[in-house]
Chains A and B, each alone.
Chain A
Amino acid sequence: MQWEIVIGLEVHTQLSTQSKIFSGASTAFGAAPNAEACAVDLALPGVLPVLNRGAVERAIKLGLAVRGKINSPSIFARKNYFYPDLPKGYQISQYELPVVEGGSVRIQTGHDGNECEKTIRLTRAHLEEDAGKSLHEDFHGMTGIDLNRAGTPLLEIVSEPDMRSSAEAVAYAKTLHSLVRWIGICDGNMQEGSFRCDANVSVRPRGSDTLGTRCEIKNLNSFRFLEKAIDYEARRQIEILEDGGAIHQQTRLYDSDKGETRAMRSKEDAQDYRYFPDPDLLPLEIPESWIAEVKSRLPELPQQMHTRLERDYGLSAYDAASLTADREIAEYFEAVVDKLPSDPKLCANWVMGEISAYLNDEGRFFGDCPLSPGQLAQLLARIKDGTISGKMAKEVFRQMWLKAGLIGKQATAWKGRDSQINENLADQIIESQGLRQISDSGELEKLVGEVMAANSKSVEEFKAGKEKAFNAIVGQVMKAAKGKANPAQVNEILKRKLME
């Protein structure tokens, strides 16, 4: 039988507010245990929650970015359960009326001509507080509790079961990851747990329109684990069904060491969370004026920019998608094109080619690229005006990178040091090392003549019909010119001379 995999994701994004969602304590990562837990986070008797408007504003941004409905009012509810790192004995979340409902995200899968676009619908996004952390090591049979994370604002973004492969799930997660960073509501740091996925996975016979019984895989904190966990889980379910078994609704954990998912609890022992509206918090009213104000400050969204890059710059869908995968790449690219509007394609090639490769090698991001967009634009302009060849440009680029990269890593971020940037770096390197291309036709005529005389054998071979000999002669000319001869001109002159 042919099986179809059905996946829905619940993504917990940690919102990038300075303070917690219901208290004034800091959300900074890495403080000493309980140093960032105030009376409210410790759930001392008598304390009360006060909603952080910054968290709401970020939820509004997401709602606008996915074209969802922003509910007013939305309701905070208590989810009641006992756990040592849950200080109040309940988590404040949203249940029946979430802050955002509906909306969608467009994803791209495949590449090199197999690109495929798909829309993933969102069910909802709701605000909630994170719990603390239980520490089991170093306490000699006891458990330590760190409540620094308790009360950290989260936006849980829930999708419809619209994905049909782990590749689609990863593409969706990456698109969402890029989007939340793009609109500045989440730092996206997966190691620190700022972006975590739960995957709901089920399988069904291809063609069926009823959903199979699902299992939820909790807490996947990397795209690779997400992919592997889904693949494993789908295989597991298919094997059970093909052996005549049945799937039991379960919550499962992914063991990244063994590469498998394990049952955590089943539906039968699912807890009754006794949700009810939190009487300490009023219904959250979001007036139209607030939404309009947030909208006015929202940056151009990746999807809009994608369309604009294709339309205005004539870039391919693939190029446009790559450039809009990250706001920093997009900003960098736009800044380069700003200086060299005549050739966006050349700019795109270099941004996604050399710059991306060098940054990748050094584990750096576009935000701290040592070369400024202006510096790159000058180099590209020298290719365009024939001063250097594309091949030579790569050598100049290498030297520019080394020169700019000598400055300390932090200080080299092109953003924020505009006044210190040496915008003529490319020209200086070309001049000081005499890398300027020889385009003087008299000089080239003379050079070609000399090479032909010295390589009469090759000339004879070409005239005898061996076309490969042409390239050999060009190679000799370039060698004699130490790589600086304008290759197009050399071709033209050589062709003419051989015809004589």
Chain B
Amino acid sequence: MLNFSLKQLSALLAAKKISSAELTGEFLRRSRTLNPDYNAFITIDEEASLAQARAADIMIAAGRAYPLTGIPVAQKDIFCTRGWLTTCGSRMLSNFVSPYDADVVERFNAAGAVNIGKTNMDEFAMGSSSETSFYGPVKNPWDTTAVPGGSSGGSACAVAARMTPAATGTDTGGSIRQPAALCGISGLKPTYGLVSRYGMIAFASSLDQGGPMAKSAEDLALMLNVMAGFDRRDSTSLQREPEDYTRDLEKPLEGLRIGLPKEYFVKEINDDVARAVEAAVAEYRKLGAKTVEVSLPTTKLAVSVYYVLAPAEASSNLSRFDGVRYGYRAPEYTDIDDMYRKSRAQGFGAEVKRRILIGTYVLSHGYYDAYYIQAQKLRRLIAQDFAEAFKLCDIIMGPTSPTVAFGLGEKSSDPVRMYLSDAYTIAVNLAGLPGLSIPAGFGEKNRPVGLHIVGNYFAEAKMLNVAHQYQQVTDWHIRTPVQLES
């Protein structure tokens, strides 16, 4: 049952073969066993989860069940959740119990889903390995000496280890797709503005986007049906007609034009990853798709642009964590400035401080034009590159990450090397496009490889269709780590 899809679980619940309380209990038991090792969750509150499950059972009994009613969903600890500790992986918010629900949390609550716990993450979503959390690193279930990726590493780990059927994540530069790839699950970053950012603790506002993480494309579609939608509390939320993201899943791929950017398949990519991606593309050809070479010449600039803009916004977004109204406050200080200094010095970890410093620097008088303004111009060029490419193809494919999961501690002393591994995903955030990662086999040390599928704006249904058809003829997405097979 732990391997069941959301649709299968929903059918079991509807047929009263199992109650939500039983189902929730099952996943909670698994977390109780595995989480001490994997550290995927920061907070598990069995009572709260079971209370929600019992409420869901009443909805089901009354014949008022939605597709996700009674199904456990883990929430990344970046989403404010009323009555739950919401830490963002930081000591700064290690005492923060949110008085309100994020829009995403409200939507899952309204859908009758059960919050199965708050997942671990890189502190304030800054990182690609889930090692910067105040609550300690998350392990990769495929190999506990490897990182799960980040920043949504807790969600990816929890889904991969079957501690939850599905989870939420957020993606600023690849934080959903890269951990999904490294943990062998599916993850979608929607078009910027599709999912409300209200109640999602901001890292870089113009790039942040929430999205679903689950085993399969079909599960992602069901999750996105709940998460997407206009929210007047977020001024960057888009007002569009609601869509059913499952509607195109079964469409054949005959005639699909897959763009392969020539800049993606160069020396930076590891052979094992390249082989897996090429095999996946070959599978698509069998499904009737055609491939075309496209060019994204600004790809190599994406990381530099990102590491100007994201820290700039972050340095300002994180100013509110000053120890005055909530959150961590240093125990001893002499005056207000000393209180700011000590609270922030003690409350933030090294990576967060590094990015606040970078961001403060690039926004400073005399540097703003050279860095921030220049980066904004390049950001537009990156979006134009994609626009050109989409004239030639329907979908762009490549590796999600140039390597499989790296070892714990391996890159934490070399931040730039860590940053560079996000080149493929980052450009998509800069352009505001949707991006999807699905499992596409295994590379070195039998660690998972992710296939990156990028669509045009609002092409989520198409991308999910493309991913789903692949998952109909492959089984990578339903494989589980050996030691977890039950």
A contact residues vs B (CB 8 Å cutoff)? 39, 42-51, 78, 80, 82, 84, 87-90, 143, 145, 272, 274-276, 279-282
User: Known contacts being A48-B197, A143-B336, is A274 close to B324, with CB within 8 Å?
Assistant: no
Which residues of chain B are within 8 angstroms of A84 by Cβ–Cβ distance? 322, 324, 336
Q: How far is the CA of A280 from the CA of B102 in the complex (A)?
A: 16
Task: Tell me which of B197, B235, B364 contacts A50 (CB under 8 A).
Answer: B235
**List of 7 A-B pairs having minimum Cβ-Cβ separation, nearest first:** A89-B319, A274-B363, A279-B206, A279-B205, A46-B199, A43-B320, A45-B201
Structural contact, B363 and A50, CB atoms closer than 8 A = no
17 contacts between A and B (CB under 8 A): A42-B326, A44-B99, A46-B80, A46-B198, A80-B315, A80-B363, A82-B340, A84-B322, A87-B325, A89-B322, A274-B360, A274-B364, A275-B363, A276-B368, A279-B236, A280-B235, A282-B235
Give me 16 other A-B pairs in contact (C-beta within 8 A), A43-B325, A44-B98, A50-B233 excluded. A39-B100, A44-B100, A45-B321, A46-B79, A46-B198, A46-B201, A47-B199, A49-B235, A80-B316, A87-B324, A89-B316, A143-B336, A272-B364, A274-B363, A275-B363, A280-B236
Q: When the two chains form their complex, are residues A48 and B316 in contact, meaning their CB atoms are under 8 A apart?
A: no
The interface residues of chain A lying within 8 Å CB-to-CB of B324 are 84, 87, 145
B198 touches A39 (CB 8 A): no
A82 to B322, CA, bound (A): 8
Chain A residues contacting B205 (CB-CB under 8 Å) are 279-280
Are B325 and A45 in contact (CB-based, < 8 A)? no
* Interchain CA distance A485-B99 in the complex, whole Å: 81
**B176-212, CB under 8 A of A: which get 1 and which 0?**
0000000000000000000001111110111000000
- Whole-angstrom CA separation of A84 from B232 in the bound complex: 29
Q: Which of A89, A275, A279 contacts B320 (CB 8 A)?
A: A89
- In the complex the two chains form, what is the Cα distance from A50 to B365 in whole Å? 28
Residues of B within 8 A of A46 (CB): 79-80, 98, 102, 197-202
State whether the Cβ of B234 lies closer than 8 Å to any Cβ in chain A.
yes
Q: How far is the CA of A36 from the CA of B201 in the complex (A)?
A: 23
| Contact (A48, B234) CB under 8 Å given A82-B340, A274-B360 | yes
In the bound assembly, the distance between CA atoms of A282 and B432 in angstroms comes to 15
Q: Which residues of B contact A48 (CB under 8 A)?
A: 197-198, 233-235
B372 CB within 8 Å of chain A: yes
Q: How far is the CA of A281 from the CA of B282 in the complex (A)?
A: 44
Across-interface contacts of A45 in B (CB, < 8 A) = 80, 86, 88, 93, 96, 98, 201, 320-321
Bound complex: CA A89 to CA B318 (Å) = 8
Residues in chain A near residue B102, CB distance under 8 A: 46
Write out the residue numbers on chain A whose beta carbons fall within 8 Å of the beta carbon of B449: none
CB closest chain-B residue, reference A89? B319
Residue of A nearest to B341 (CB): A82
* Residue B313 interfacial (CB < 8 Å): yes
Question: Are B80 and A281 touching (Cβ within 8 A)?
Answer: no
A47–B233 Cα gap in the complex (Å)?
A: 8
Quick check: B312 and A88 within 8 Å, CB to CB?
no
Q: How far is the CB of A40 from chain B (nearest CB, A)?
A: 9
- For A51, the chain B residues whose CB sits under 8 A away are 235
Question: Contacts of A282 on B, CB cut-off 8 Å?
Answer: 235-236
Across-interface contacts of B234 in A (CB, < 8 A): 48, 50
A88 to B316, CA, bound (A): 8
B232 neighbours in A (Cβ, 8 Å): 50
Interface string of B69-105 (1 = CB under 8 A from A): 0000000000110000010100001001011101000
**Residue of A42, A43, A279, A280 with most chain B CB atoms under a 10 A cut-off:** A279
Q: How far is the CA of A170 from the CA of B417 in the complex (A)?
A: 62
> What residue of chain B has the Cβ atom nearest to residue A274's Cβ?
B363
- Does B236 lie within 8 Å of A39, measured CB to CB? no
Alpha-carbon distance between A144 and B201 when the two chains are bound, in angstroms:
26
Q: Are B96 and A78 in contact (CB under 8 A)?
A: no
- Residues in B with CB closer than 8 Å to A143 are 336
**Distance (Å) between the CB of A234 and the closest chain B CB?**
31
Are B313 and A279 within 8 A (Cβ)? Answer: yes
Contact B320 A276 (CB under 8 A): no
Q: B319 to A82, Cβ gap below 8 A?
A: yes
Q: Which residue of A lies closest to B96 (CB)?
A: A45
Q: For the complex, what is the distance from the CA of A447 to the CA of B134, rounded to whole Å? A: 107
Taken together as a complex, chains A and B put the C-alpha atoms of A48 and B313 apart, in Å, by: 14
Q: Of B98, B200, B236, B312, which contacts A276 at CB under 8 A?
A: B312
Question: CB within 8 A of B316: which of A39, A90, A281?
Answer: A90
| Bound CA span A80–B205, Å | 16
Interface hub of B96, B236, B320 (most chain A Cβ within 10 A):
B320
In contact, A90 and B235 (Cβ under 8 angstroms) = no
Q: Are A276 and B201 in contact (CB under 8 A)?
A: no
| B365 CB contacts on chain A under 8 angstroms | 272, 274
Residues of B within 8 A of A80 (CB): 315-316, 319, 363
User: For residues 296 through 319 of chain B, which have their beta carbon under 8 Å from a beta carbon of chain A?
Assistant: 312-313, 315-316, 318-319
Choose one: A90, A275, A276; the contact of B319 (CB below 8 Å).
A90
B372 x A276 contact (CB < 8 A): yes
Cα of A161 to Cα of B325 in the assembled complex, Å:
41
Give Cα A82–Cα B339 distance, bound, in whole angstroms.
12
With A44-B99, A44-B100, A145-B324 as known contacts, state yes or no: A276 contacts B199, CB within 8 Å: no
Closest to A83 in B: B336
Q: Which one, B86, B235, B316, B320, contacts A87 given CB within 8 A? A: B320
Q: Looking across the interface, which residue of chain B has its beta carbon closest to that of A42?
A: B325
- Closest residue of chain A to B193, judged by CB? A282
Q: What is the bound-complex CA distance between A48 and B206, given in angstroms?
A: 12
- How distant is the Cα of A78 from the Cα of B313 in the complex, in angstroms? 10
Least Cβ distance of B191 to chain A in Å? 16
Task: Give the residues in chain A near B368, CB-CB below 8 Å.
Answer: 274, 276
Determine if A44 and B197 form an interchain contact, defined as CB atoms under 8 angstroms apart: no
Q: How far is the CA of A444 from the CA of B110 in the complex (A)?
A: 93
B52 to chain A, nearest CB (A): 21
B199-234 toward A: CB 8 Å interface, digit per residue (1/0)? 111101110000000000000000000000000111
A49 vs B232: C-alpha distance in the bound complex, in angstroms? Answer: 10
CA distance A316 to B382 in the complex (A): 66
Q: Which of A39, A44, A51 has the most CB of B within 10 A?
A: A44
A78 touches B198 (CB 8 A): no
A82 contact set on B, CB distance < 8 A: 319, 322, 340
Q: Which residue of B lies closest to A84 (CB)?
A: B324
Residue of A46, A51, A143, A272 with most partner-chain B CB within 10 A: A46
Are the C-beta atoms of B316 and A47 separated by less than 8 Å? Answer: no
- Determine how close the nearest CB of chain A comes to the CB of B125; give it in whole angstroms: 12
